Structure 1
Amino acid sequence: MVPQLRKLTLMRKIKVDIFRKICTNWPNLTCLHVDFRQEMNYSLMKHIFEKCPRIEKLKLWTTMLIDQRCMELLSSLEHLSTLEVLLDKPHLTPVRLRLLTDACPRLKEIHIDWNYFAPQDFEYFLKANKHTLTSATLLWTVGEAQKTSVVPLLKQCSTSLRKLRLVYFDTPRAMETVAFEALGELHSLHELSMQYLSTYEPKLISRAFRPGCLTQLRRLLMQYTTDLLDETVIAISQGCPNLRELRICASYKITDVALSEIHCLRHLEILELSRCSGLSGTAMAYISQLPTLHTLILQFTEDLAKLQPSLRLIVELKELRCLDILKSGNIKAVPFGEFPNRLLKLRELRVTYESENDFTELQRKMPNLKISNTAWLTEDDFPKDDDADYGYRDG
């Protein structure tokens, strides 16, 4: 009864006959996200694409494309601009990118984080989309038997890429240097995600952030890179002057030294250093020098008192609007008493506390402050697939 519907997201399985009827009645559908439990076969997919030929954004799961005929059906979607294929069950059916390249000229975003590509198909795809591909989620390597790093191929073929997420680091040791140096040559990148990165030579990661390389980078996600070194964070601070968001989590080896050059990030607005247990007494002294920081995330800090004596300098962050210290211990080390007079723009405080009485006085003095004992989440808080599923592959 709503023929003008444009977007359909299935968050559970529905009966096939209902699905068929839905698609028959919604010819203007442009965005379709299908739950992994949904029964999908060639006949149903053919019906969907015939009745909804204007689909631009499509999210499916790998088992829905095991039948190569289903993959061929995708090439009938001439308006397809965004394709997302998420892992539900591992299998070795390659993604036939050549079919999509020839039939979907408007494809500008591709997010496929498990199936491998034939290197020749992948190179063909990149060359054909040289000036149109803007966003991609890819494995670090292509090829089933002979592994080839995707990053040098991206460097050679793609000039328009703005957002890149690389998953499941399985780059051969001999290719690591080339891969990270080539990553630094993707000068047009605005967003880069390399979560759960575990390398043979951690010091090589800094090669991607040499001065003059990723100068346009605005958003960098490196959560759960457990071997991240101080020198790499310093390289990021010196080599990415336009960074607005930096998320580092569970990088146990970094120390306060890693933040010694963070003052170079004059435009940084969001900083996460959750689970970074190596930080100590001078960390906040460096962080307090960030003039535009409005969100600071320090979740799962075992003992906030370990950040003293510089922890008191948190009140120097005049632009701070959100402080997230959920699941962190010894919260009494935080100078909450100074917040009302010093952090005038603070609007969100996420903190794990035992009694609401602990913050009664703060709430009275800051009536516009929202204090939460649990996290609320948005799409930006996670990678594009399920984080738990993604984690076991990469870490």
Structure 2
Amino acid sequence: MTEYKEMNDDSRLKIQQKVKLNSKPQGLLELFTCYVHPMPISMVQLIVKDNEIFVSVKCGYSEHKESTLFVYKALKNGEKMGCPSLIGHVPIALQISKNVLGRDTAVEKSLLQLTPDAQSVVLLNSIRTPYSCASDCFQENAVKIVRLNRGHASLVKRLETTQGVCCLLVCEPRFLLAAEEGGKVKLWIMNSEWSGHEEDWYLPMVDCMFPTIVELKTIPKSASLVVGHNGYGEFCLWDIDKRNLVSRFSSPGMSVLECVPASVFRWQTKVEHKMETIVDEIMDATRMQFSERSQVNIVSPENEDVAIWLLISTLSDPDSQYYQPCDQGANTVGCWRLALLINNMVITGSAVDAGVAAVTSVGQGIIGRSDGLVYVWELSTGMKLENLHSFKGSKVSFIATDTSYSGALAVASGGQLLVYLPS
């Protein structure tokens, strides 16, 4: 039996008092470079490989159906440090379909992603791009891999699905996932060039994920772990390397717009325990996970479960029995909260800083953006640490960390893109 729980004030205060991570992320990032694009930026993806930084940027005006996708690279060190070298660009026509309940089936960044080698782009087959040799074949139930040239794309591979695709996820080193409209998740293992697949199958599912999964995310320091949710409070955790369902978590009555995984740890299940002892043990496990440099080994004894820290954007619903209004002045779309997925349930804390429009996690810290300000606060306590940048007179349109979790950060405002690297 699953249940929804909201962390009460006493429990939340105990967590804030008990957890003291090894070091605060103050001075975590420093500005590397700034790029200016011809149109407003609506999406960014970073991939860091040794001395190279690959950047994918989608630019366009909100009133137009078409936008332009740019992919370029820059060197972290050397004579041409920070100078961008254009790999390719192409106009794209992006269409976000709606599921049977009328909700957007994916956030925009889940519809097209770079491959881990940054040489190709994976996107829904319904996204139109001009081709150099072959005409675009419209097929809703498919995913395509393309290489960008100057103004057009070259089709590398088209992968068919059983139903329409709601969201995508590219995982290192060679995994590609597609959530289908019926609730299934297709998994391909691609070849080293990402020009074809070697194996494919569907991940094991649970009935609660119907009608569809709207978002898939990897967990930092745990490359094979993927968490997905259906937007209505149901979460699943998979180990895609072993192709198995690790755990599920349920929060009936809660609407989830977006999630940002922060960390995962192993949890020793106990039948009876005092709340203070449970809080101590959870925070000890969290500290241990943050202190580990290697990736988390999810293979655990039978009496151990997996727990996940997430940042979630929830919809404030006055008609829900679990309704808790966000602070005055908060973003009208949703409120960001720290959430703990544990023992088949979801425990949520209070809404974070009222003006936050989006967040991402870097190491032990959280990077938040409001109308024109980007700042860092501590994951464990919510304490604000420092301001990264202030865009006077303009809004922050996008914020992202690199997919390989090296600690790089991209912040966009209008056509301006700032790239930060770990200090």
TM-score for the superposition, normalised by structure 2: 0.27
TM-score for the superposition, normalised by structure 1: 0.29
Structure number with higher relative contact order (C-alpha < 8 Å, ≥ 6 residues apart): 2
Higher strand share: 2
- Bigger radius of gyration among the two: 1
